[in-house]
Amino acid sequence: MTVIAWDGLSLAADKQCTSCGNPTTVTKIFRVPGGVVGFTGNEGHAMALLAWFRAGRIDADWPKKAGDDSASAIFATPEGLQLYSGEDGPNPARREDKFCAWGAGRDYALAAMHLGHTAKEAVEVACALDITCGMGVDVMDIA
């Protein structure tokens, strides 16, 4: 499972990937042209989306979802957040919220940021309270 948090300056994510009950360590956020992108959902589709971001986000090259599962991308830029759903194609939704969070640890992360914590600290809180999140934290500023 996943927790990704945005505090308006940084995107932070846990590093746990669980498959068949076995947790492994992965990276979920990456620097790409124009900002930082984080992924939730299917790992194979996430890596296809990462390649799409690195290649310049050309609409015609949008990667199809992996079987029945898809990934979603959270793209943090100096101009704000764009959310790409594997189901919706290359047309992002925009968010204007001061802070946001996604994944299984979302509620813990949102509560932590509501209480004044950074995205990194919010992910640490979620990892402490949700057994499907953990294995460390990555954080990247958009500046």
- Of the ranges 26-35, 45-54, 79-88, 126-135, which one carries the lowest mean pLDDT score? 79-88
pTM of the model: 0.94
- Report the SS3 class of residue 132: coil
- Report the SS3 class of residue 67: coil
Q: What is the tens place of the pLDDT at every residue in 90-115?
A: 999 999 999 999 999 999 999 999 99
Q: Are 108 and 94 in contact (CB under 8 A)?
A: no
Q: What is the tens place of the pLDDT at every residue in 5-36?
A: 999 999 999 999 988 889 999 999 999 999 99
DSSP type of residue 89: -
The bridge status of strand 35-41 relative to strand 80-85 is unpaired
Q: Delineate the domains of the chain, giving CATH numbers in brackets.
A: 3-133 (3.60.20.10)
